[in-house]
Structure 1
Amino acid sequence: MDPNQDLKITRIKRDPYFSMKDAHLHNFYEMYYLLSGTRRFFVNDTLYNVSKGELILIEEGALHRTTYISGGSHERICITFSKSFLQPLFQEFGEEAVLKCFSQPYVRIPQSRREYFEDLISKAHREMMYQDTYSLYLASSHVYELILFILRLNSISKQDDITPYDASPDDQIMEKAAKYICSNYQSPVTLEETAAYCNMSTTYFSKKFKAVTGFGFKEYLISIRIREASRLLLHTKLPITEIALLSGFNDSNYFGDVFKRMKGISPCKYRKNKEIV
């Protein structure tokens, strides 16, 4: 997302077997609505299988990756926006209340309201393509209505009780492993330790974790550590050496190298420019 752009909407149809090359996180919010096909999402430490008419909400700083479930193509609309874009809603309803809708990544749009929801998304997308004096204002108003609809939906239905899919035993174990890593990233957690926690051999666990989440073990662990470091860099004034330790890196030089490789910028420059992802 362009740092100078508060709102962006894209509609793309992907070929079969498309997967994100790399997992990532960003300092803006994302609404991912699936118009056709199926996708698998891994958000922070939880798996979601997503079908037509279902929505994934990505909060600021959430680590995520999407991959295929089957060989069919899929079409999606993705809406991304900055925190400043949400200010009119914050002023009216309060920041905590508005951001609450992003605390539950998976939302199933009721069949009876799907036409309305997709019409709103299409209107917003068309306005962003049209680009005249009024288009950004109209597109923004449609996106605000989408967010308010989700907030209302959450208030009248128990989205927490909706199971995105019947997770297999292996999927459940891999989620358990991801949660274990997220809880222990500050310590020198190892592949062998995590495999033992899941009662699996190291080789089998390594292959299964990659197949289910799309991450290698080390890749996921480092991504979680960089996610935490990014948060601390932007929201605290702690020294970078201390941030490295708090994020699970014992060597601040190694931390700097890994951070720059993953973010394309040094920790110091990242802290100075909050718009860089």
Structure 2
Amino acid sequence: MNYVWANKKHDELSKQGVIFFHSKIEFLENHPCKLYKIDEKFGNIYDHTHDYFQIWYVLKGEFLHSVNRKKYKMVQGNLFVIPPFAVHRVEIVPGKQMQIIGCEFLPHFINDRFGQFPFSKDFFDFAYLEHFLVDENEIIPKVALTGSNDLEVKKLLEEMYEEYTTQKPYFELLLKGNLLKLLSLIIREYTKESMPGMDVKLHKYRHVIAKAVEYIHNHYQEEIRLEQICKLAMLSKTYFCYLFKYFTGKTFNEYLIDLRVRKSTELLLLSDLSITDVCFWVGFNDPTYFSRIFKKHTGVSPSYYKKNAMKE
């Protein structure tokens, strides 16, 4: 980053009483990206800015986010993306819990050519940030994620958090890959037309579908009927199917079969179980049907997969 330009901007904001968080202090040495989780005990952060991008996703609870002197209530499934040097604030709602997963990164983590000001639009990676590099009065202070995008964003951030905290070999490559995908999903949401009442619907039913998905993951080896899940969710079959497809991007049956096939690939690779045993272990009751579904999803038969997936 051009630190002459950055320091000048810093001086201007400091005169206005704005707190400045500098990447040289906030980031680990030689790590241009970081992940963290915080809760309501973190406290308020009054007018402040930073020389890096900041993404906050609400895992639980609520808080207030202010941009341009306007307050926005952030609830589960909401996020914001704040570009460098934009002034904003975060306030805890008294008596309310919150849990945030945050991702912060310097522009050059996407591409070294972002290190020069002004940014140029003549290279591909600019597309990942141009939607967020806007004037302060054009910042979108709150995005309500919808459908399968919400689940995918949460999954990506959780994976990034795990990689950052464990720092296994090549973790930075995995961080960058997930970050690019994360930004792409957020850009999709930026370009959607707003839908009246969307926040209310998301907040009301997200936890219901999340519980249903959790139940499926815990009981996929058993016989699971749609009627049984609808009863647990206390929703009609028609409305549950609509909400499930809306949040996961798949029908109930598609989701269950996809999960069982993924689990079967793990068992075929990592165990000595026969194909028939794997079939029954993951919840399929008919080996012929299992083989047909497996080939439809993977392109090869279970026996071929077991013999060749790990073959040198």
TM-score by length of 2: 0.46
- Tell me the residue number matched to 2:78: 54
2:36 corresponds, among 10, 13, 16, to 10
1:127 corresponds, among 163, 167, 181, to 163
* 2: CA distance, partners of 1:63 / 1:28: 12
AA at the equivalent of 2:109: F
Would the aligned equivalents of 1:44 and 1:62 in 2 still touch at CA under 8 Å? Answer: no
1:150 corresponds, among 186, 207, 229, to 186
- Tell me the residue number matched to 2:245: none
Gaps of 5+ in 1: 166-277
Is 1:73 the counterpart of 2:108? The answer is no
Q: Secondary structure at the match of 1:84?
A: helix
- Tell me the residue number matched to 2:51: 27
Would the aligned equivalents of 1:101 and 1:154 in 2 still touch at CA under 8 Å? Answer: no
Bigger-Rg structure (1/2): 2
TM-score by length of 1: 0.52
* 2: CA distance, partners of 1:134 / 1:96: 25
Where has structure 1 moved over 6 Å in runs of 4 or more? 88-91, 160-165
Q: 1:150 to 1:4 in 2, by over 3 A?
A: same
Would the aligned equivalents of 1:107 and 1:159 in 2 still touch at CA under 8 Å? Answer: no
Q: 1:133 to 1:39 in 2, by over 3 A?
A: same
AA at the equivalent of 1:41: H
- How many aligned residue pairs are there? 162
Q: 1:61 to 1:163 in 2, by over 3 A?
A: farther
Q: 1:14 to 1:142 in 2, by over 3 A?
A: same
AA at the equivalent of 1:11: K
Please give the per-residue CA displacement for 1:72-120, whole angstroms capped at 9, x wherever unaligned: 2110001000111132797763536633145323211114432222111
Q: Secondary structure at the match of 2:80?
A: strand
Would the aligned equivalents of 1:50 and 1:164 in 2 still touch at CA under 8 Å? Answer: no
Q: CA deviation at 1:5?
A: 2.7
* 2: CA distance, partners of 1:144 / 1:79: 12
Would the aligned equivalents of 2:57 and 2:80 in 1 still touch at CA under 8 Å? Answer: yes
Q: 1:52 to 1:148 in 2, by over 3 A?
A: same
Would the aligned equivalents of 1:53 and 1:109 in 2 still touch at CA under 8 Å? Answer: yes
Would the aligned equivalents of 2:110 and 2:176 in 1 still touch at CA under 8 Å? Answer: no
AA at the equivalent of 1:23: D
Gaps of 5+ in 2: 1-25, 115-120, 134-138, 201-312
Would the aligned equivalents of 1:104 and 1:160 in 2 still touch at CA under 8 Å? Answer: no
Would the aligned equivalents of 2:82 and 2:132 in 1 still touch at CA under 8 Å? Answer: no
Is 1:106 the counterpart of 2:142? The answer is yes
* 2: CA distance, partners of 1:162 / 1:93: 36
* 2: CA distance, partners of 1:28 / 1:159: 28
Identity %: 21
Please give the per-residue CA displacement for 1:234-261, whole angstroms capped at 9, x wherever unaligned: xxxxxxxxxxxxxxxxxxxxxxxxxxxx
Q: Which has the higher contact order (CA 8 A, sep 6+)?
A: 1
Would the aligned equivalents of 2:53 and 2:106 in 1 still touch at CA under 8 Å? Answer: yes
| Matches for 1:107-256 after TM superposition, within 5 Å | 107-155=143-191, 157-159=192-194
AA at the equivalent of 1:100: H
Q: 1:108 to 1:75 in 2, by over 3 A?
A: same
Please give the per-residue CA displacement for 1:167-221, whole angstroms capped at 9, x wherever unaligned: xxxxxxxxxxxxxxxxxxxxxxxxxxxxxxxxxxxxxxxxxxxxxxxxxxxxxxx
* 1: CA distance, partners of 2:69 / 2:62: 20
- Tell me the residue number matched to 1:192: none
Would the aligned equivalents of 1:106 and 1:164 in 2 still touch at CA under 8 Å? Answer: no
Please give the per-residue CA displacement for 1:134-184, whole angstroms capped at 9, x wherever unaligned: 1111122111110011112223x125988979xxxxxxxxxxxxxxxxxxx
Is 1:44 the counterpart of 2:68? The answer is yes
